[in-house]
């Protein structure tokens, strides 16, 4: 078996027929990868292991294709958010508004905390608080979480939920444009996403008016 | 993106900090945990460590034979910040170069946006250099806030810092 393989490899360099074979082989490989990718997009809850496997060769394969085949100018694949695959089991995504509430709670005790020189605060704390506050469109993180949690039934992941809240998206069109991974679930998600975004907008306007009052 | 993480660490209390009063010991453990937590700064998986939110459990201490220090297993919940590929973030421009701009995003000091990833924008040589989109009139200048998508993330183990490459290619991305 291995001898045969070696032979094939050698002749591939010489004869055009085997070249064709080679390229054909490649084509099949890409097709299968595309199929995998589609599969991944539609089955958002597929097991993490296979998703992770698909993700890497897919990106690599596309790059290779772009370099070699000048004729096929395919656009690079959209950047899909796969937070869940990268996260360890003990970690969970938080929306900016949730983080802002927690960090602000600590900041409110800072006068007391800074009196005690033995208590150390991480150097990233201030800038993280600042970031959480700028990307915070809502005063009531609990209601935001409740509203968006309903989308979980439609396979919307935790990462996507947080991104929706963090970007303050108002329309489904904007949501699908900014979060390409949602597009794969478009037909399933569209209606409930629309309802959720309308709800979120109501929570948002309350926030804006309170800011004005402040 | 902010993360809520549950961790289990071991906290070492030097023998001289051990007190007969239980409350003081608890404080010593907490202070030591906060100290270790701040010193750790960041990890590859969790990103920048920001704050301990709850101390969930302090296990039974074990005495270390040679030093007399006591080691306590501690379970706690904390907050961290990390950016992910595909995430939409907002960065503030702090440096403009001919080939692209550097931005800050929360604790991350260096997000790089290459001029190849902001189609339509041209570099303008001036006293205050900027990138200008002549069609829309939108500018990328110092202190501008940009909404962008994360293309790649890198963790520098030695410095305990994250760096990321971001892009503006997509709808609704650009100066906010």
- Give the tokens for residue A79: 């950047």
Establish, for the pair of chains A and B, how many residue pairs have beta carbons separated by less than 8 Å. 137
Residue ranges per structural domain of chain A: 2-77, 96-213
Is a pLDDT exceeding 60 seen at residue A2? no
Which has more pLDDT, A209 or A189? A189
Look at domain B2-81 and name its CATH class: alpha beta
Is a pLDDT exceeding 50 seen at residue A6? no
Q: Report the pLDDT value the prediction gives residue A73, as an integer from 0 to 100.
A: 59
Q: Report the pLDDT value the prediction gives residue A75, as an integer from 0 to 100.
A: 64
Is a pLDDT exceeding 90 seen at residue A209? no
**Are A179 and B42 within 8 A, CB to CB?**
no
Instruction: Find, in chain B, the residue whose alpha carbon is nearest to that of A98.
Output: B2
The single-letter DSSP state of residue A169 is -
Share of chain A above pLDDT 90, in %: 47
Q: Which residues of B touch A79 (CB under 8 A)?
A: 85-86, 149-151
pLDDT-derived band at A47, boundaries 50, 70, 90 = very low
Look at domain A96-213 and name its CATH class: mainly alpha
pLDDT-derived band at A89, boundaries 50, 70, 90 = very high
CA distances from B125 to A64, A169, B93, B96, B119 (A): 36, 35, 17, 11, 18
Is a pLDDT exceeding 80 seen at residue B167? yes
ipTM, interface predicted TM-score of the complex: 0.92
Per-residue pLDDT tens digits for A174-203:
999 999 999 888 999 999 999 999 999 998
Mean pLDDT taken over chain B: 94
Residues 117-146 of A with CB under 8 A from B: 118-125, 127-128, 130-132, 134-135
Q: Does B78 touch chain A if contact means CB atoms closer than 8 Å?
A: no
Q: Which residues of B touch A135 (CB under 8 A)?
A: 90
pLDDT-derived band at B43, boundaries 50, 70, 90 = very high
Residue A15, classed as helix, strand or coil, is coil
Which has more pLDDT, A66 or B39? B39
Which has more pLDDT, B43 or A208? B43
Q: Report the pLDDT value the prediction gives residue A74, as an integer from 0 to 100.
A: 64
Is a pLDDT exceeding 60 seen at residue A22? no
CB-nearest partner of B7 from A90, A122, A125:
A90
Mean pLDDT of A11-25: 43
pLDDT-derived band at A70, boundaries 50, 70, 90 = very low
Q: Report the pLDDT value the prediction gives residue B114, as an integer from 0 to 100.
A: 97
**Are B170 and A95 within 8 A, CB to CB?**
no
Distance CA B128, CA B143 (A): 11
Per-residue pLDDT tens digits for B102-158:
999 999 999 999 999 999 999 999 899 999 999 999 999 999 999 999 999 999 999
Instruction: Find, in chain B, the residue whose alpha carbon is nearest to that of A83.
Output: B84
pLDDT-derived band at B77, boundaries 50, 70, 90 = very high
- Architecture (CATH level 2) of domain B88-175: Beta Barrel (2.40)
Q: How many CB atoms lie within 10 A of CB A153?
A: 10
Number of residues that make up chain B: 176
- Give the tokens for residue A13: 């360099």
Q: Report the pLDDT value the prediction gives residue A68, as an integer from 0 to 100.
A: 45
Mean pLDDT of A28-41: 41
Sign of CA dihedral B75, B78, B80, B84: positive
Is a pLDDT exceeding 70 seen at residue A18? no
Which has more pLDDT, A135 or A64? A135
Instruction: Find, in chain B, the residue whose alpha carbon is nearest to that of A169.
Output: B172
For chain B, give the secondary structure using H, E and C: CEEEEEEEEEEEECHHHCCCCHHHHHHHHHHHHHHHHHHHCEECCCEEEEEEEEEEEECCCEECCCCCCEEEEEEEEEEEECCCCCCEEEEEEEEEECCEEEEEECCEEEEEEEHHHCCCEEEECCCCCEEEECCCCCEECCCCEEEEEEEEEEEECCCCEEEEEEECCCCCCEEC
Q: Which residues of A touch B3 (CB under 8 A)?
A: 87, 91-94
Mean pLDDT of B4-21: 89
Q: Report the pLDDT value the prediction gives residue A139, as an integer from 0 to 100.
A: 87
Q: Report the pLDDT value the prediction gives residue A72, as an integer from 0 to 100.
A: 54
Residue ranges per structural domain of chain B: 2-81, 88-175
Q: Report the pLDDT value the prediction gives residue A53, as an integer from 0 to 100.
A: 41
């Amino acid at each position: 078996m291995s001898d045969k393989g070696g032979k094939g490899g050698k002749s591939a360099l010489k004869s055009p027929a085997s070249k064709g074979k080679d390229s054909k082989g490649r084509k099949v490989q890409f097709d299968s990868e595309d199929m995998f990718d589609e599969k991944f997009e539609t089955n958002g809850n597929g097991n993490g292991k296979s998703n992770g496997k698909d993700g890497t060769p897919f990106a690599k394969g596309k790059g290779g294709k772009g370099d070699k085949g000048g004729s096929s100018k395919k656009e690079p694949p959209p950047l899909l958010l796969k937070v869940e695959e990268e996260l360890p089991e003990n970690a969970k995504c938080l929306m900016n508004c949730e983080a802002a509430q927690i960090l602000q709670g600590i900041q409110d005790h800072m006068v007391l905390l800074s009196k005690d020189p033995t208590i150390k605060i991480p150097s990233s704390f201030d800038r993280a608080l600042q970031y959480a506050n700028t990307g915070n469109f809502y005063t009531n993180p609990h209601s935001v979480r409740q509203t968006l949690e309903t989308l979980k039934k439609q396979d919307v992941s935790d990462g996507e939920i947080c991104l929706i809240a963090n970007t303050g998206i108002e329309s489904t069109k904007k949501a699908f444009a900014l979060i390409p991974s949602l597009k794969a679930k478009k037909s399933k998600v569209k209606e409930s996403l629309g309802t959720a975004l309308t709800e979120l907008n109501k929570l948002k306007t309350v926030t804006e008016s309170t800011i004005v009052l402040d | 993106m902010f993360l809520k993480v549950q961790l289990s660490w071991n906290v070492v209390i030097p023998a001289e900090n051990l007190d007969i009063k239980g409350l003081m010991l608890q404080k010593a453990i907490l202070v030591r945990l906060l100290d270790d937590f701040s010193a750790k700064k960041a990890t590859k998986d969790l990103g920048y460590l920001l704050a301990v939110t709850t101390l969930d459990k302090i296990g039974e201490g074990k005495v270390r034979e040679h030093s007399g220090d006591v080691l306590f297993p501690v379970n706690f919940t904390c907050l961290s910040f990390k950016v992910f590929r595909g995430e939409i973030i907002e960065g503030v421009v702090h440096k403009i170069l001919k080939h692209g701009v550097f931005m800050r995003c929360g604790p991350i000091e260096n997000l790089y946006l290459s001029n190849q990833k902001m189609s339509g924008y041209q570099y303008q040589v001036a006293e205050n250099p900027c990138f200008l989109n002549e069609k829309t009139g939108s500018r990328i200048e110092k202190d501008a806030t940009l909404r962008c998508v994360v293309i790649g993330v890198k963790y520098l183990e030695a410095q305990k810092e994250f760096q990321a490459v971001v892009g503006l290619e997509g709808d609704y991305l650009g100066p906010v």
